[in-house]
Structure 1
Amino acid sequence: MHARTALEKWLAGLTAERLTVLLEERELPRAAGYTPLTTLRQLAEHLLTDDSVDRAVAAGTGGDAQLLACVAARALKTHGPVPATEQQTYAWRPAPPPVDPYTRLVPEAEVLDWLEQGGTSRESTVRALERLRDRALLLPAPRGQLALPPMLHTWAARMDGYGRPADLLLTQAYNAPEIKRIAAALGIEQRTRADAQTAIRNVLQDPGRVRELVATAPPASHELLAHMLQGQPLLRTHCFVSRHGGYAGPDSKYTFREGGSGDEGTDWLAEHGMVVPVGTDLVELPYEVGHALRGEQPAPAPSLDPEPLTCVAPLPRDWAGRGAVAAGAAAWRAELVLRELAAHPVAVRKAGGIAVRDTRRLAKAAGTSEEHTRLWLDLAVNAGLAAPRTEKEEPAARGRGRRRPTAPPQPARLLPSERYDAWAAATPAGKLLPLVAAWAVVPEVFTYWPEEDETPVALISPQDPYAVPLRHGVLEALATLRDGHGLTAGDDGQGELLESAVWFRPALMAPYEDEDLEGRLDAILAEAELLGLVAHGALTEVGRAVVGLLGAGAARHYPAVPGADADPAAGGADRLGEGLAERPALAKAVAALREALRSMLPAPSTTVRFQADSTATVTGTPAPDLAALLSAVGDIESEGHAVVWRITPASLRRAFDAGWDADEILERLAAVRRPGTELPQPLTYTVKDVARSHGRLRVVRSACCIRSEDTALIAEVAQARGLAKLGLRKIAPTVLISTAPPAETLAALRAAGYAPALEAETGTTVLERVPEERSRPMVPTLDQAHPQYGEPVRGIPSSARELAAQLVAGR
């Protein structure tokens, strides 16, 4: 039986749910490209490809990757290197060779005994092997045997620090004269190139002969060999030149530099075929030489479990309360930013993003920093709570003999989405759920801005490949802390945390030295504390729920955000969002996150304490209706464990401008006062005094007249220098005419300190209310997130769940 056939049979025994998990980890069907997978045989073939195996290794932990490397090293020791093919000539990531894993089986008992010699317990190894089998990184094999995918056999030598086989290197690098020259140095005389190369290979494949030769080498050669045996099997040298002169290309052949390189040790190794040129001034140590000189290696000790964090300190008693306060403040601040956005939408720049002046305005209105305002806007967009909307172009007007040009479209504006109104009426836990879910899966660290010469803007396109793996790894590492302890601040603690995060997420080990993982780490921790996921260096219950959400594969569905479309009000499992019913593990993780938020955030306050200095204090998080009432008649003065509003004549005039009267305001304030208390008399007097002065000026909408029964007030307004731009003219003792339209006249009068009201033609007061505009959320559902092609194609699965159902039905 071949490994592919065994894998196909194993796949046929999986349930649809387990098959879906496997497909999502391998990012199918999207990763299959334009080759639809319609049978289990095709799926088995795809799972054996290098790309698929590479995705699976990156999705596991560092312990899984180390264990696979150990099994591959055992296969290399037992079976030798994979036979060389021309496909391996120049590619660093070669295509898999024609090797069946069943021809390179490894006894499981040998691996267990070998790792036990290095100090790894058999129980840990057995558990780790089972995890690898479940993920098809260990293939189905005869009882007691281990079978690896072809890619791991191909790269076993490289992973263990060996070079490629000598036969392949010699064929690629030399013509006949160089081969015969090396053979002569080894004491071999052959008439043909093929015979000479075969003889060289036989010498290098004899470990004893190689060691004898090296014993006669100059001391400098020993130093060079030791360097290559301890690290990469590569060395910079000047022993060779390209036969064609100049820079060596991928098809170049090499010859020995005339007169040698000047280094005795390197020249000796080159003359005896123990280093072979693979590029300009670059040589490689053949596998056979490395294998002969290394000798018996000590048993490995893979880190199958994460190393415990040591930079820790005991947590204070109120550490969990700090997380709850941060989470409540986050929900409140996000609501203030989106409430201001709903009242005054902002334009989207042609170059993308939100202008700095608009961000500052939103930040000032919400009482928060510009950095946090950008974060709330970006999270809201990715959670589907806000979205840009572009007005449609006006059609060109057609006339006889001429055509008017099409009117240019209005610029896009960022508006709250259709989900916003239900979200705004939700509890703090309901408000925070979509924002935390979006933060977990979005591939961007929004508060990390590495370019010092660029101005940070909101509404950016998430495209940071390190964001989600680092975020997931950091939270997983913090989850390993023992109860009652948190990570200490400082470079040592964060350096240790980063190392642990890399163990959990091997994708972070990519050798990109210019990537600032430390800067991203600082920003991720700050955002996690802002959202209440981390407090005093330890995970809160909400933070642990986010770990479970990411562990269930939530990030694989981006740009869909599992949980973002959940009903913000209390509800059962059927209210968690579209597409979760078919994904039990993901639904369970979203439900756990919602319950953790509800446990952390108490019910919002519905009463307020009024004081004689015209302040209104709400302990905890105010209910949406209460916050709306107090924000309508007052201005937020401070926040923290309590929110304080100050009610002033200016803020009351704003309520009267919206059509309220004194009795209504006093009645509504009395309804929310704390039981057993009364409204302070100074507050009552202030409301009534402002009401008496409000509306003494009347703006007539039809001709934009200003009228008032108070002739002295009319005379005062007519002479006001700040209103000169209105072009006011008195046409009667009680009437002024303005050259500006009603809206501008009202704004100018209010800016000058007056309190006008808008009057209709009938003489009644007009309530000035901005029409509510909403956009359509851009966040797709779980089944729409990754169509296999640009648009879903009929009959072709567009999601892992659909593909799994089709494969199960056809088996």
Structure 2
Amino acid sequence: MTSADALKTWLTTRTPEQLTELLEQRLLPYSAGPGLDDPARLADHLLSANSVLLGMRSLDAAQIQVLTAIAVLAERLHGPARVSAARPGPAGFAGTNLAARPGAFTVRPPEPAERAVPRAQLVAELGEGVRPVLDALAERALLLPPHGELLTVPAVLHQQASELQGFGRPAALLLSDAYKAAEIRRIADALDLPPARTREEAQQAVVGFLQDGAAVRRLVAGAPPDAVELLDSLVPGPPLLRTHCFVPDTGSYYGATSKFHFRQGGSGDPGTDWLAARGLVIPIGIDLVELPYEAGAALRDGEEELPFEPEPPAVGSARPLPERAGGEAQAAATAALSRVELLLRATAAEPLAVRKAGGIAVRDTRRLAKAVGAPEQQARLWLDLTANAGLLAPHRDTPPPTRSRKPVPPPPARMLPTARYDDWLTAPPADRLVPLIAAWAVTPEVFSHWPEGEGTPVALISPEDPYAVPLRHALLEALARLPAGHGLGAAASLTEDTVDELIDAVGWHNPMGLQLDDEVDELVTATLAEAELLGVAAHGSLTPVGHAVLALLRAGAGRWYPAVPGAGPALDRHPELAGAVAGLRAALAELVPPPLTTARFQADLTVVVPGAAAPELTELLGSVADRESDGHAVVWRIGAASVRRALDAGADAADLLERLAEVSEGGLALPQTLEYLLKDTARTHGRVRVVRSTCCLRSDDEALVHELSRTRSLTKIGLRRIAPTVLISTASPADTLAALRQAGYAPVLEAETGTTVVERTSQERATVEMPELADARHHYGRGPATPGALAAAILRR
């Protein structure tokens, strides 16, 4: 039975939940090809190189080492598999990021069933710890059925057995793909090989020399020290090097059919030039060369022991947590919630303009940072989180009608709260934090990291870093492995050695899904700092909320972006995700105390809320007081202007006093100073009345009308007294009201009927753009659209 037939039979024995999970891990969203609701076609898809590579991107180092060991043992038992010059996918197995270059050879892939490895031999090589790893690989269909005493892996792993061990590809393939005849003869001359009549003879001579291990070792023995040092780094793998030894024969254009010339005058690096001249490194792309398989095999010390690390490397810098760690996590989560609320309220009051190039202008970000009392970097983080959680979205007004035939440019976009924001405001603190923390977990961007050389940081850029979520997941996995009650310390205080140890642990958890480049230390510390701001981590250790976020990522929440599980989409059909979101909500409910419904009123007209305020309390105080400070306690101040604002919105002074008394802490009476302020402000409120029809001002107080007509600061609205109790204005009612209030008066707007008009702030809302979970991830071939529907269709056959 072929591997495809065995896999097809095995697929039909899975439960709907198991098959759906497998498809979510391995299904490629593409439009070409037949429908995959046929088990035979689905089996072929899962055996394809790209699907296998997709499934391997979420494996840890131990799992990749086991797959590598099976492929290597198969090569030792059955000989090398047929390979092609082109790499199978966009990323190499060792974490390199190489674009596949079409090769000159196309070879039928080997049949995995013909290259099986005895299970007992693998266990003897790697130890008993390999058994649970094999079970996990079988669930992902990376270890192929039947899962008995013979082990088989997909064909692409056999084809890439050399690369999995850190070897390059065979010299014959690399030479054919890279050079024309002149360069082949030049390499043959440098190796002192006999003259050849044709290109093929010259290439065969070069390949034959490289296949002679003794000859290669003698050659390297006489190499200059710079060349030997380069070989020391290339031989263990990966066999890739950046160099300027070669230029494409097509000039500035480089395509699939391009060949390479040696750079005239050399690269400036004598060691690299020496290796290139003798065929020990061969070009595979612009400024990128590869050490051939034969050279690497000749320079290694015989048959090496197969590596297997069943546990991640320890982070030895962990130390006991301080007693205050739990309290700091609670304070961080509470402060984050308060600042996000302030940011959204400020945006609702004054929408943000979106730049033509994308993002928010720096001046607007700085204004928001000042409004929420946070550094600018944190303000950018809160903006990005609220946007990805569906609480903030761009909105474009409908352009006014025009008779012009020329296209009218659309009005600029503005960032507005969405309809979800209103429900979010009234929710308990834990429910408000869930979408923010879930958005942080699954959005493909390290928000607070801005690469050097990319200009001034801006908020609300398009998340497009494919390595961000794997990095976040691997970091939380590494922190979860620390001894209980121990942490690494705050992100800002980590030493270089601690960061290096943490990077090693992170790399073990997801070696193929990460981009371990020169900025990885900055990315790791920035991710940890963000986790601290949200209460996910404290002093370099996971909090209960952090463990809940890790469970969310383990449930596959990152696959559904731009939908954010926990931020609105229904989870009825995803019980594992629903359970993870419920766990996050429960952890937050324990971390963040219940909201306060009372406040402490003081004689100096300040109001103190010693914690997170309930939405009703916040709304009441926000209507009649100005927010002065935030932190563990929120301080409000009531003044004449804030009371007039409440009265302008239609509040009644007596009703305000009654409502404030109801929320007074301990049922204490309100201070007399507050009662006097409310009553005095109410007594003068409305003495000046603005008539809507012709923008008249009227008042029963003739002296006041006379005073207004003589006030110099009101000359800009063109006041004119037309009766002892009536003034007219050349400005609109809205501008007249604003000018009077700026001058220190307390007018109200009156309708034509004589009734007072209550002024209410316009509450514009943007459309929620986040897709529902069912619409976020699709299979775009013929047949059912989602993995769940596809699994059901397969099992019905």
Aligned pairs (5 A) from 1:226-237:
227=232, 229-231=235-237
Sort the Cα spacing of 1:292 and 1:214 in 2 relative to 1 into closer, same or farther, 3 A: closer
Say whether residues 1:596 and 2:608 are aligned partners: no
TM-score by length of 1: 0.84
Contact 2:719 2:729 survives alignment (8 Å): yes
Sort the Cα spacing of 1:430 and 1:33 in 2 relative to 1 into closer, same or farther, 3 A: farther
State the secondary structure of the residue aligned to 1:59: coil
State the secondary structure of the residue aligned to 1:462: coil
Sort the Cα spacing of 1:281 and 1:466 in 2 relative to 1 into closer, same or farther, 3 A: closer
What is the deviation of 1:16? 1.5
Say whether residues 1:518 and 2:521 are aligned partners: yes
| Residue of 382, 385, 392 corresponding to 1:386 | 392
Sort the Cα spacing of 1:2 and 1:270 in 2 relative to 1 into closer, same or farther, 3 A: farther
Say whether residues 1:309 and 2:309 are aligned partners: no
What is the deviation of 1:458? 3.2
Mapped partners of 1:453, 1:180: distance in 2: 43
- What corresponds to 2:741 in structure 1? 750
Contact 2:245 2:276 survives alignment (8 Å): no
- What corresponds to 2:124 in structure 1? 113
Mapped partners of 1:643, 1:370: distance in 2: 21
| Residue of 137, 142, 145 corresponding to 1:140 | 145
What is the deviation of 1:520? 2.9
Mapped partners of 2:763, 2:610: distance in 1: 30
Contact 1:3 1:101 survives alignment (8 Å): yes
Provide, for residues 12-56 of structure 1, a one-character-per-residue CA deviation record: whole Å limited to 9, x for no partner. 211111111111112x25146565323111111111222111111
- Which amino acid in 2 is paired with 1:490? L
Mapped partners of 2:280, 2:369: distance in 1: 67
- What corresponds to 1:81 in structure 2? 80
What is the deviation of 1:769? 0.7
User: Structure 2: which 5+ residue stretches go unaligned?
Assistant: 89-98, 265-269
State the secondary structure of the residue aligned to 2:479: helix
Contact 2:184 2:202 survives alignment (8 Å): no
- What corresponds to 1:546 in structure 2? 549
- Which amino acid in 1 is paired with 2:543? T
What is the deviation of 1:655? 1.0
State the secondary structure of the residue aligned to 1:712: helix
- What corresponds to 1:572 in structure 2? none
- What corresponds to 2:11 in structure 1? 11
What is the deviation of 1:777? 0.5
* Alignment coverage as a number of residue pairs: 771
Aligned pairs (5 A) from 1:455-534:
455-488=456-489, 489-492=493-496, 493-507=498-512, 509-510=514-515, 512-513=517-518, 516-534=519-537
What is the deviation of 1:782? 0.9
Mapped partners of 2:381, 2:247: distance in 1: 56
Mapped partners of 1:406, 1:463: distance in 2: 32
Mapped partners of 2:656, 2:70: distance in 1: 76
What is the deviation of 1:796? 3.3
Contact 1:636 1:643 survives alignment (8 Å): yes
Contact 1:33 1:788 survives alignment (8 Å): no
Say whether residues 1:337 and 2:336 are aligned partners: no
What is the deviation of 1:801? 1.4
Sort the Cα spacing of 1:722 and 1:356 in 2 relative to 1 into closer, same or farther, 3 A: farther
- What corresponds to 1:620 in structure 2? 611
- Which amino acid in 2 is paired with 1:500? A
Sort the Cα spacing of 1:752 and 1:131 in 2 relative to 1 into closer, same or farther, 3 A: same
- Which amino acid in 2 is paired with 1:545? A
Say whether residues 1:772 and 2:746 are aligned partners: no
Contact 1:557 1:782 survives alignment (8 Å): yes
Aligned pairs (5 A) from 1:79-228:
79-85=78-84, 91=100, 97-116=108-127, 122-123=128-129, 125-141=130-146, 143-165=148-170, 168=173, 210-211=213-214, 213=215, 219-220=221-222, 227=232
- Which amino acid in 1 is paired with 2:306? P
Provide, for residues 440-471 of structure 1, a one-character-per-residue CA deviation record: whole Å limited to 9, x for no partner. 11112333233567343333222122221222
What is the deviation of 1:389? 2.4
Mapped partners of 1:612, 1:300: distance in 2: 76
What is the deviation of 1:564? 0.6
What is the deviation of 1:627? 0.8
- What corresponds to 1:762 in structure 2? 753
What is the deviation of 1:303? 2.4
Sort the Cα spacing of 1:80 and 1:673 in 2 relative to 1 into closer, same or farther, 3 A: same
Contact 1:247 1:280 survives alignment (8 Å): no
Sort the Cα spacing of 1:296 and 1:18 in 2 relative to 1 into closer, same or farther, 3 A: same
Deviates more, 1:223-232 or 1:168-177: 168-177
Deviates more, 1:499-508 or 1:676-685: 499-508
- What corresponds to 1:48 in structure 2? 47
Tell me how large the CA RMSD over aligned residues is.
4.1
Aligned pairs (5 A) from 1:435-450:
435-450=436-451
What is the deviation of 1:605? 0.7
Say whether residues 1:587 and 2:587 are aligned partners: no
Sort the Cα spacing of 1:356 and 1:765 in 2 relative to 1 into closer, same or farther, 3 A: farther
| Residue of 658, 674, 682 corresponding to 2:673 | 682
Sort the Cα spacing of 1:522 and 1:749 in 2 relative to 1 into closer, same or farther, 3 A: farther
Contact 2:216 2:298 survives alignment (8 Å): no
State the secondary structure of the residue aligned to 2:323: coil
Mapped partners of 2:707, 2:768: distance in 1: 50
Mapped partners of 1:245, 1:764: distance in 2: 81
Mapped partners of 2:610, 2:341: distance in 1: 17
Provide, for residues 49-100 of structure 1, a one-character-per-residue CA deviation record: whole Å limited to 9, x for no partner. 2211111111122332233223323233333332354657995587774211
- Which amino acid in 2 is paired with 1:739? T
State the secondary structure of the residue aligned to 2:666: coil
State the secondary structure of the residue aligned to 2:727: strand
- Which amino acid in 1 is paired with 2:430? A
Mapped partners of 1:783, 1:85: distance in 2: 39
- What corresponds to 2:92 in structure 1? none
Contact 2:184 2:203 survives alignment (8 Å): no
Contact 1:270 1:276 survives alignment (8 Å): no
User: Structure 1: which 5+ residue stretches go unaligned?
Assistant: 117-121, 258-262, 398-402, 566-576
What is the deviation of 1:562? 0.9
What is the deviation of 1:726? 0.7
- What corresponds to 1:698 in structure 2? 689
Mapped partners of 2:361, 2:285: distance in 1: 50
TM-score by length of 2: 0.86
- What corresponds to 1:796 in structure 2? 783
State the secondary structure of the residue aligned to 1:675: helix
